[in-house]
C-alpha cells in the first residue's frame, strides 16, 4: 500500500567518518556506504524525500534517561581525563573506548534521533531514518556494547511526555537491554525485542519471562531465538507476536531499531536470516506504522548492513531499486557494491535436526507469550 508523507534521512558525513578505532567492529562508515547505495539504486531523488543534517541534542534531554553523574564522567573522559571510576561505568573498555570527539559524536547521533522523533510528533514526516542511531545497550549509569548514550530511550521518553503512545520494535540480533530497562515498569511503551537468545549472545539477557513489572507487566516482550534460526523461524516468531500486539496497542508512533546484524554473514552473531526475511519484516513494520522512526543499530558486516538498510529504505518509501549502472564498464560492479554483491540474497533454508530445534524453540516461546501475555492485552490465543 502506497503511503503518503515526507520520508526523511538523518545523515552526516562527519558522523559517518568517525572511528571508534581501527580494529573496533563498530564502523559508522556503514552509513556512508548506505548513502552511496541509495544513489546507486536511485532511491533518494523523490520529491517527498529529504536529507537532514543532525544537530547535537541538548544536554538537559539526556537526563530523561541517564544519570547526571554518568554523563559528567563521560564529559570528563572526552577531555582526556581518566579515572578508575570511569572504567567502572564502562568508559575506556575494549568495547567502549574513550577518545576526543566521542562525546560530541554521541550527542549528535542522539540529536538526530531526537530530531526525527519531534518531526513525527509534529506530523512533519511519515518516516524518519537515522542510520547513525539505535544505541540500545547504553544504561542509565553506564556505557556498554558500543553504546554511550541511549538515543532510543531518550527519544521515546520525550514522545511519551508529549502524550504519544509509542511502540518500540527491536529486530537487532542483540537484546535491547538498555531500552528494556528504561520502560520496564511502564505501560506507556510497548517494548518488543526479537533477538538471538542470551544463552549464546551478548548481552546474555532478554528471555521470554522478562515481561515487565508493576504497571509495565505485559508491556515488555522478549522473543529469543536459537542460534542458527533462519528466515522461516524468524518470520514465524515475528508474525505470530508482533502484529497482533502492535494493532491492539494502537500506537501513535512506532520506533524500530533495524540492525543489520541478524544477517547470516554478520561476524558477531549466529542467526541465518537473509535479506529476504529482513525485507519481509521491514514491510510488516511499515504496514503497522502510522508514523515510523527507524534507527540503524548494529551490523558488523559493513557492506551487507548497508545493503540491508538500502532494502529497508526502498521498502518503506515504496520504491523499487533501479540499477542503471548494471553492465557498465565491462560489467564491473560499482562503489560499495563490489563488496556487498547484490542487495538481495539467494534463499537459505536450514535443515535437519538444527532446524527442528530452532523451530521447536520458537514455537515454545510463542506459546509462552500468547498464553501469558495476550490475555493481558485482551487478545485471544
**pTM, rounded to two decimals:** 0.95
Active site residue 137: yes
* Domains: count for the chain: 1
Angle of CA points 331, 336, 339, to nearest 5°:
80
Residues 66, 114, 136, 137: which is the catalytic one?
A: 137
pLDDT score of 326: 61
Q: Does a structural domain hold residue 324?
A: yes
Nearest to 281 by CA among 240, 221, 226, 340: 240
The answer to whether position 357 is within a domain reads yes
Residue 206 lies in a domain: yes
Separation CA 242–CA 250 (nearest Å): 12
pLDDT at 381: 79
How large is the greatest C-alpha to C-alpha distance in the chain, in angstroms? 64
pLDDT digits (tens, 9 = 90+) for 125-139: 999 999 999 999 999
In a domain, 1, yes or no: no
In a domain, residue 2? The reply is no
Query: For residue 99, what are the domain limits?
Result: 7-377
CA distances from 107 to 57, 110, 133 (A): 5, 5, 11
Domain CATH for 144:
3.40.800.20
Is residue 197 included in any domain, yes or no?
yes
Mean pLDDT of the residues in the chain: 94
What pLDDT, in 10s, does the model give residues 266-302? 999 999 999 999 999 999 999 999 999 999 999 999 9
- 322 within a domain of the structure (yes/no): yes
Amino acid at each position: 500500500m502506497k503511503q503518503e508523507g515526507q520520508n526523511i534521512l538523518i545523515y552526516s558525513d562527519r558522523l559517518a567518518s568517525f572511528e571508534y578505532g581501527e580494529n573496533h567492529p563498530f564502523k559508522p562508515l556503514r552509513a556512508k556506504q548506505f548513502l552511496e547505495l541509495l544513489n546507486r539504486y536511485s532511491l533518494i531523488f523523490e520529491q517527498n524525500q529529504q536529507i537532514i543534517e543532525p544537530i547535537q541534542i541538548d544536554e538537559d534531554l539526556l537526563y530523561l534517561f541517564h544519570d547526571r553523574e554518568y554523563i559528567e564522567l563521560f564529559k570528563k573522559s572526552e577531555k582526556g581525563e581518566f579515572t578508575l571510576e570511569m572504567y567502572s561505568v564502562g568508559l575506556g573498555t575494549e568495547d567502549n573506548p574513550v577518545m576526543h570527539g566521542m562525546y560530541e559524536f554521541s550527542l549528535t547521533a542522539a540529536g538526530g534521533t531526537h530530531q526525527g522523533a519531534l518531526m513525527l510528533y509534529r506530523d512533519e514526516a511519515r518516516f524518519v531514518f537515522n542510520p547513525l542511531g539505535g544505541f540500545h545497550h547504553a544504561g542509565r549509569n553506564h556505557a556498554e556494547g558500543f553504546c554511550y548514550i541511549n538515543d532510543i530511550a531518550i527519544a521515546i521518553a520525550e514522545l511519551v511526555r508529549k502524550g504519544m503512545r509509542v511502540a518500540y520494535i527491536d529486530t537487532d540480533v542483540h537484546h535491547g537491554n538498555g531500552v528494556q530497562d528504561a520502560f520496564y515498569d511502564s505501560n506507556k511503551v510497548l517494548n518488543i525485542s526479537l533477538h538471538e537468545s542470551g544463552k549464546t549472545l551478548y548481552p546474555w539477557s532478554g528471555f521470554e519471562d522478562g515481561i515487565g513489572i508493576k504497571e509495565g507487566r505485559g508491556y515488555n516482550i522478549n522473543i529469543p531465538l536459537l542460534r542458527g534460526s533462519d528466515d522461516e523461524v524468524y518470520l514465524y516468531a515475528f508474525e505470530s507476536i508482533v502484529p497482533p500486539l502492535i494493532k491492539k496497542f494502537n500506537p501513535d508512533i512506532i520506533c524500530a531499531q533495524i540492525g543489520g546484524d541478524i544477517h547470516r554473514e554478520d561476524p558477531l552473531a549466529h542467526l541465518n536470516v537473509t535479506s529476504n526475511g529482513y525485507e519481509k519484516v521491514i514491510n510488516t513494520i511499515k504496514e503497522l506504522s502510522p508514523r515510523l522512526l527507524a534507527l540503524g543499530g548494529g551490523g558488523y558486516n559493513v557492506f551487507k548492513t548497508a545493503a540491508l538498510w538500502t532494502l529497508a529504505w526502498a521498502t518503506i518509501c515504496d520504491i523499487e531499486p533501479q540499477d542503471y549502472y548494471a553492465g557498465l564498464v565491462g560489467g564491473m560492479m560499482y562503489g560499495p557494491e563490489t563488496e556487498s554483491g547484490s542487495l538481495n540474497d539467494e534463499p537459505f533454508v536450514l535443515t535437519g535436526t538444527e532446524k527442528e530445534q530452532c523451530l521447536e524453540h520458537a514455537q515454545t516461546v510463542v506459546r509462552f507469550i500468547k498464553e501469558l501475555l495476550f490475555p493481558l492485552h485482551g487478545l485471544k490465543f
